[in-house]
Structures are given as structure tokens and as C-alpha cells.
Amino acid sequence: NAGVMQNPRHLVRRRGQEARLRCSPMKGHSHVYWYRQLPEEGLKFMVYLQKENIIDESGMPKERFSAEFPKEGPSILRIQQVVRGDSAAYFCASSSSTGLAGRSSYEQYFGPGTRLTVT
């Protein structure tokens, strides 16, 4: 019963390169969320996706960041032309379509994260 999977676990990029982070949701989950945790900060919501649809990207930086969740394969968070300030832990979470009937809680389960270091 695999949980949320993310890879790579650690990624080092030089300034100006592209970073691609992958996330496979928990089996049976069709909703994917990306969060960023800067050093000494709390997690911040970035984007919410379902298969082939971006539902809410209100937390995504306006430039250089994009996300997708194709019909087949994992969700991808892509950061173009990385800068030092992009260094952070990026967590993916997934949830099922609905919570328990009558006690809907929309619980999200997190992957182990990808630690991005920009040098």
C-alpha cells in the first residue's frame, strides 16, 4: 500500500537551470497538491491539480513555475531558470475525491518531499 511518492528526494541545480519534481499520488487518490517549505518557515500552498486540470494555482509564483498532472504518469512541478531563493523542500500531497460521508475532512497525505538546492 504505497503512499505518496516523490522523486528525486534531493536535487541540486545551478542558477539558471531547470528543475523538474515528480509526484505520484497514493493509490486511489485523484487530487494532487504541491507545497513549498522554505528554511525555518511553514508550508505554503502552491497549486491543486486533478488529472489534466489545474484547479487552483493561487499560490504559484507568477513566473518560472508551472505544474501539470497528465492523464498518464506523475504530477510534475517545473521550475525554470532557478534562482537561489527557490532552494526549499517541495512537498506533494494527495487526497481522495471526498471525505467520509457526513464527516468530510478532505485529509491530505504527504510524500517525503524533494529538497531542492540551487547553487
Instruction: By CB under 8 A, name the binding residues for other proteins.
Output: 31, 33, 35, 41-48, 55-56, 58-59, 89, 91, 93, 99, 103-113
Any idea what DSSP says for residue 26? Answer: P
Closest approach, Cβ 97 to other proteins, in A, equals 11
Q: What are phi and psi of 18, to 5 degrees?
A: -105, 145
Closest approach, Cβ 71 to other proteins, in A, equals 21
Complex with other proteins: residue 19 or 32, whichever CB lies closer: 32
How large is the greatest C-alpha to C-alpha distance in the chain, in angstroms? Answer: 49
Closest approach, Cβ 58 to other proteins, in A, equals 5
Q: What is the Cα 2 distance to its own chain's centre?
A: 17
Complex with other proteins: residue 40 or 63, whichever CB lies closer: 40
Q: Answer yes or no: are the C-beta atoms of 34 and 92 closer than 8 Å.
A: yes
